[in-house]
Amino acid sequence: MSDCLFCKIAAGEIPAAIVHQDEAVVAFKDINAQAPLHVLIIPRRHIATLNDLSPDDDGLVGSMLRTAAALAQQHGYHERGYRTVFNTNREAGQTVFHIHLHLLAGRWLTWPPG
């Protein structure tokens, strides 16, 4: 998608603080961090929302989650705790329509969320 912010970050056309990348996913620091560690994990391929996933994407979503767990471990939060969130569509607060897994850690995270 030529006008998608996260496609441009994945392609290296817009700078981001990238913390991991491989052939399928890219992870970078959220520009408006809500916790000491706040990373977004995205697929390189454009997928607008979770509603657009197909069974063929199961491995890709698994890679996103395993990347989140690996980053949490690298940063020393795997035992303390961390949160992983996908926001989908308007009422959940999705603002960028290229799926992204939020990884948040480093402070007490309240439940239920706002």
Just list the catalytic residues. Answer: 100
How many whole angstroms separate alpha carbon 75 and alpha carbon 36? 10
Min dist CB 19 to Zn ion, Å, is 19
How many whole angstroms separate alpha carbon 80 and alpha carbon 32? 23
State yes or no: residue 32 binds ligand AMP (CB under 6 A): yes
Which CB, 32 or 51, lies closer to ligand AMP? 32
Give backbone dihedrals phi and psi of 49, rounded to 5 degrees, phi first. -145, 170
Residues 38-67 that bind ligand AMP (CB under 6 A): 40
Q: Which of 30, 50, 61, 106 binds ligand AMP (CB under 6 A)?
A: 30
Amino acid at 51: N
Q: Which of 50, 57, 94, 106 binds ligand AMP (CB under 6 A)?
A: 94
* Cα-based distances in Å from 28 to 6, 74, 77: 10, 14, 17
State yes or no: residue 16 binds ligand AMP (CB under 6 A): yes
How many whole angstroms separate alpha carbon 19 and alpha carbon 17? 6
Sites of contact with ligand AMP (CB under 6 A): 5, 16, 28, 30-32, 40, 87, 93-96
